[in-house]
Amino acid sequence: MAQQDTFSQLLGLQVDEVGAGYCRLHFVVRPDMLNGFGALHGGVTFAAADSAFAFACNSHGRQSVGLTVTIDYLEAGRLGDIITVEAREESLKHKIGVYQVRAVNQNGVALALFKGTAYRTSNEIL
């Protein structure tokens, strides 16, 4: 799935690990990812968390799509930061999965907390 995800590739997301209900990825904050205040744009943080969520919820072999997501921004990322994003499954039912995603910088400082609820279709994926 990650090989087909051109948007995640555009962001430079590097997938480190994917397992059942789990994904860890990282990226380096580039100049084109900064907002007008010189901080990591919230949209980049959201997109990275959304990608980790997608990889985790699709790890069970059934196509899953986001129903609802929320994000809380805690700290600002900065140019050159290495951001690690980790998605963990909290609940998995026949049609619904719930995931918590955490984004931290290279010093372990939490930048954002993301929660996603996924709808699990009946479509199998490889």
pLDDT single digits (tens) 56-88? 999 999 999 999 999 999 999 999 999 999 999
Tokens for 95?
A: 């049609």
Give the pLDDT confidence score for residue 86 in this predicted structure. Answer: 98
Q: What is the DSSP letter of 52?
A: H
Backbone dihedral region for residue 61 (phi beyond 0: left; psi -120 to 50: alpha; all else: beta):
left
Contact 113, 101 (CB under 8 A): yes
Give the pLDDT confidence score for residue 3 in this predicted structure. Answer: 75
- Counts for the chain of helices (H) and strands (E), in that order: 2, 6
Query: What CA–CA distance (Å, rounded) separates 50 from 83?
Result: 14
CATH second-level architecture of 2-124? Roll (3.10)
Instruction: List the chain domain ranges.
Output: 2-124
Tokens for 28?
A: 């380096």
pTM beyond cutoff 0.85: yes
Contact 67, 55 (CB under 8 A): no
Is residue 44 predicted with pLDDT exceeding 80? yes
